Amino acid sequence: MSEIPELIKDLALILIVAGAVTLLFKKWKQPLVLGYIVAGFLVSPHMPYIMSVVDKSNIQTWADIGVMFLLFSLGLDFSFKKILKMGLSPIIAALSIIFSMMVLGTSVGHLFGWSNMDCIFLGGMLAMSSTTIIYKAFDDMGLRQQHFASLVMSVLILEDILAIVMMVLLGALASGGSPDGSQLLGSVLKIGFLLVVWFVVGIFLIPWFLRSTRRLMTNETLLVVALGLCCLMAVISSAAGFSSAFGAFVMGSILAETIESEKIIRLVEPVKSLFGAIFFVSVGMLVDPQVLVEYAIPIVVITLTIILGQSVLGSIGFLLSGQTLQKAMQCGFSMAQIGEFAFIIASMGLSMGVIADFLYPVVVAVSVITTFLTPYMIRAAVPAYEFIESHLPKNWVRRLNHLGLDTSTNEKEQSDWKKLLSSISLNTLIYFALSIAVIIIVMRFFLPITEHFMPTYWANLINCLLASVIISPFLRAMIMKKNHSDEFKNLWTSNRMNRLPLIFTILVRIMIAMMLIMYLVSRIVHLRYAALICLALIIIIAIILSRRLKHRSIYLERLFIQNLRSRDIAAQVKGQRRPLYEDHLLNRDVHIGEFLLPEDSLWAGQTLQRLQVGNRFGIHVSSILRGSQRLNIPGGSTVLFPGDRLQAIGNDEQLRLFGEALQSELHPEDPNIEQREMVLKKMLLRKDHPLVGKTLKDSGIRDFYNCMVVGIEDVNRHLDTVSANRIFREGDIIWVVGERSNLQLLGIK
């Protein structure tokens, strides 16, 4: 019999110990992440009293996969549209907290004389609060429904996103050897470019692929496809010079915009839990008690830095974002800990060999301490506010609260210029990035292939023409988009002074498109600069005038918007979200109401035409939600069923009357409910009984007596079923079910 590989033995040890420890932590109502870390310490070589993991390298590989799946799941919960809808308040808070905590953490590292890279990574670890731990603390303390908790969760989502960017920047710094401004700027621009390309291309292709294969997708195949896409993007990200975890997050955020996202989240959850557990166990394996004793003072100092820094600087960040002093302190005190991303950043630094070995166990120890203190910090926020309020001058408190007036709900009308310029900038950025991506792909991958089969000139010519054809719809959309928008027309007609700047916005976009065309033309023929400009301008004019390209660019944009909105549309169809057109109705004192048809409603089984709800109440039934079906604009012949959810359009008074009628027009309760009991009785058919000589079908026992014959007793006292054509005879013993009053009509007492 073959020997079991060491990896299987190590996994068995890890999972058994992790399962036992996390059960205890679950009983003690502590975060499971801490249980995994403790389990990792128990199976590490630093704990000699029990078995230890033998092959650390294989476990580390599994842990890297765990990081990848953790960030993939984070991407599935993330939505670019959700971030855009948050407004400016969470963005201000997140940026101010991250910046201030990074500076504070870096300063503390320099205070102990650590290396520059150790200090930078320490600052990155201290800047990230733990989403998992804070969410669980809010849940355990019953605070999830409070307003400050929702503010904290919004900032944590942004922190998680910025942590991905920080990991990429730290990786670039680590590979470069020393912090350099131009290198950082180049990394940021590269991240932005790749994010735009990956996201736009992903929204084009992946929803289309899932929609085309939806009928073939089982849970098993969907899981395999989702994890395959995750790993594919991880490979692409690594090839582009970024971490595999970054690519996994990007793929998760793309899949988050698809209809299948909720199903994928459910399917991936067990996989993420397994590999995530292995990752956190590997974190615990690096905890060395001797290091903790040796670095006890830095651990205490860093812990105090997080507690005081988040309490003070975090509160200031929320105060600057537009919150009152009390709410800002509640938010700041809630974020006084570090968690998952600190481990991931430390693991990355350790694997790249740019941070010292002692930093990992120090950060783990700090995380454990701050995690245990999290509930106490949340509770301490209100007493701390009351202490400050009672000791500060009244006018100071008033000014702080005035500074923190919540402006997030004060939605001001954006000017036409602001709307137009932001839209033009976004469109230009997206289409320019897509055009650059197409040119890079064609020149880097297709050009070398064609050069094997033909001379360099002809290969250049073919590939430049191919790139020009592909990017031509993008160039036309970049130049012409928003030139006929309402904002553009309003600015053009309202003031003559606006016309020159408006023309300038078009010229800038034409110049950007010409630069791309000039680059492609210059690879084919060497022309003078003036001739090159003229040729590029002619090509751009031809692109603008082409109606075929116009239709193509409009089709591509509509396809992208449809894919981007597919999840929202599915939620509206299923009744999980109100239709988008409701916002336009609100401006006209009309809105949509949703009503449930009661089970005992008199309307059940009736058609809309017979009910005359439009004439009676003045409302319009726009949709009927029935199970997983949605009936839009139901006609008069549509029959209502119990449990239907009716979406009706009307004003407040009309909808109120409709709802009252729907709830009041019910079948009355039966006052003689006790007499509705069904009983089973047997009856001997005598010669003069009206059933004798008739078949069951002709007897009318159901129609006239409202009873049912369930069988005829034979000589062995067994019941035989009765066929519809069986004739009742004298002496038959029949068993009948019915209400007592109806049985009495049959002569059964």
- Give the angle subtended at the CA of 406 by the CAs of 402 and 407, to the nearest 5°: 105
Q: What number is the average pLDDT over the span 454-458?
A: 81
Q: What's the whole-number average pLDDT of the chain?
A: 81
Confidence of residue 714 (pLDDT cuts 50, 70, 90): confident
- Point out which residues pair with 625 in neighbouring strands: 630, 645
Distances (CA, A) of 499 to 11, 506, 512: 70, 11, 20
Closest CA to 34 of 373, 378, 367: 367
- Point out which residues pair with 607 in neighbouring strands: 639
Q: What single-letter amino acid sits at 54? A: V
- Judge whether 110 and 301 are in contact, CB under 8 Å: no
- Judge whether 663 and 683 are in contact, CB under 8 Å: no
The alpha helices in 213-314, defined as continuous H runs, are 219-239, 244-255, 261-285, 289-294, 296-309
Q: What single-letter amino acid sits at 264? A: I
Asked if residue 310 has pLDDT above 50, the reply is: yes
Q: Return the structure tokens found at 648.
A: 């009706």
- Judge whether 564 and 601 are in contact, CB under 8 Å: no
- Judge whether 338 and 126 are in contact, CB under 8 Å: yes
> Which residues, at least 6 apart from 189, have a Cβ–Cβ distance to it below 8 Å?
none
Q: For the packed helices 219-239 and 244-255, what is the interaxial angle rounded to 10 degrees?
A: 140
Asked if residue 693 has pLDDT above 80, the reply is: yes
Distance CA 158, CA 83 (A): 8
The alpha helices in 650-731, defined as continuous H runs, are 652-664
Distance CA 614, CA 648 (A): 10
Confidence of residue 138 (pLDDT cuts 50, 70, 90): confident
Report, in angstroms and rounded to the nearest whole number, the Rg of the chain calculated over CA atoms. Answer: 35
Over residues 91-129, the pLDDT tens digits come to 888 888 988 999 899 999 999 999 888 998 999 899 988
Q: Return the structure tokens found at 320.
A: 């600057």
Min mean pLDDT across 137-151, 301-315, 376-390, 711-725 is at 137-151
Q: What number is the average pLDDT over the span 439-462?
A: 82
- Judge whether 340 and 70 are in contact, CB under 8 Å: yes
Distance CA 469, CA 442 (A): 12
pLDDT of 731? 87
Distance CA 730, CA 548 (A): 89
- Judge whether 101 and 280 are in contact, CB under 8 Å: no
- Judge whether 587 and 594 are in contact, CB under 8 Å: no
For 430, the 3-state DSSP assignment is helix
The alpha helices in 310-393, defined as continuous H runs, are 315-320, 325-334, 340-351, 359-391
Q: Which residue reads 């009716």 in tokens?
A: 646
Q: What number is the average pLDDT over the span 233-242?
A: 82
Confidence of residue 301 (pLDDT cuts 50, 70, 90): very high
DSSP assigned state of 51: -
What length does the chain have? Answer: 749
Distances (CA, A) of 700 to 615, 695, 703, 704, 705: 43, 9, 5, 5, 7
Confidence of residue 405 (pLDDT cuts 50, 70, 90): very low
Q: What number is the average pLDDT over the span 157-167?
A: 78
**Other residues' Cβ atoms within 10 Å of the Cβ of residue 465:** 13
Over residues 30-58, the pLDDT tens digits come to 778 788 888 888 888 888 777 777 777 77
- Judge whether 707 and 742 are in contact, CB under 8 Å: yes
Closest CA to 343 of 70, 78, 599, 651: 70
Distance CA 480, CA 477 (A): 5
* Reduced DSSP (H G I as helix, E B as strand, rest coil) percent helix, strand, coil of the chain, to 5: 65, 5, 25
Over residues 625-649, the pLDDT tens digits come to 887 788 888 888 899 998 888 888 8
pLDDT of 290? 86
Instruction: Give the residue with greater pLDDT, 541 vs 98.
Output: 98
- Judge whether 250 and 75 are in contact, CB under 8 Å: yes
- Point out which residues pair with 678 in neighbouring strands: 739
Report the percentage of the chain scoring pLDDT > 70. 87
Alpha carbon distance, N-terminus to C-terminus of the chain: 78
Asked if residue 304 has pLDDT above 90, the reply is: yes
**Other residues' Cβ atoms within 10 Å of the Cβ of residue 270:** 10
Distance CA 237, CA 194 (A): 9
For 631, the 3-state DSSP assignment is strand
For 623, the 3-state DSSP assignment is strand
Min mean pLDDT across 31-45, 394-408, 436-450, 701-715 is at 394-408
- Judge whether 37 and 280 are in contact, CB under 8 Å: yes
Report the percentage of the chain scoring pLDDT > 90. 8
Asked if residue 179 has pLDDT above 50, the reply is: no
Instruction: Give the residue with greater pLDDT, 109 vs 407.
Output: 109
Residue 451: burial class (beta carbons within 10 Å; 0-12, 13-18, 19+): middle
Asked if residue 231 has pLDDT above 80, the reply is: yes
Over residues 579-635, the pLDDT tens digits come to 555 554 544 567 777 888 888 888 988 898 888 888 888 888 888 888 778 888 888
Q: What number is the average pLDDT over the span 512-528?
A: 77
Q: Return the structure tokens found at 692.
A: 């004798």
Q: What number is the average pLDDT over the span 357-386?
A: 87
pLDDT of 586? 46
Over residues 72-81, the pLDDT tens digits come to 887 887 766 6
Closest CA to 101 of 308, 402, 363: 308
Residue 52, Ramachandran bin (φ over 0: left; ψ between -120 and 50: alpha; else beta)? beta
Q: What number is the average pLDDT over the span 736-741?
A: 90
Distance CA 195, CA 247 (A): 10
pLDDT of 227? 93
Phi, psi dihedral angles at 646 (to 5 degrees): -100, 125
Phi, psi dihedral angles at 128 (to 5 degrees): -110, 115
Distance CA 534, CA 693 (A): 106
DSSP string across 91-104 = HHHHHHHHHHHHHH
> Which residues, at least 6 apart from 204, have a Cβ–Cβ distance to it below 8 Å?
556, 559, 560, 563
Within 133-233, strands assigned E span none
Asked if residue 333 has pLDDT above 50, the reply is: yes
Largest CA distance in the chain: 120
DSSP assigned state of 454: S
76-109 residues labelled b (16+ CB within 10 A) or e (exposed): bebbbeeeeebbebbbbbbbbbbebbbebbbebb
Distances (CA, A) of 354 to 178, 285, 302: 11, 20, 20
Distance CA 229, CA 213 (A): 15
Within 12-134, strands assigned E span none
Over residues 484-497, the pLDDT tens digits come to 887 888 888 877 77
DSSP assigned state of 601: B
Distances (CA, A) of 372 to 125, 219, 413: 18, 39, 46
Confidence of residue 189 (pLDDT cuts 50, 70, 90): low
Q: What single-letter amino acid sits at 117? A: M
pLDDT of 1? 42
The alpha helices in 605-746, defined as continuous H runs, are 608-611, 613-617, 652-664, 740-745
Distance CA 91, CA 94 (A): 5
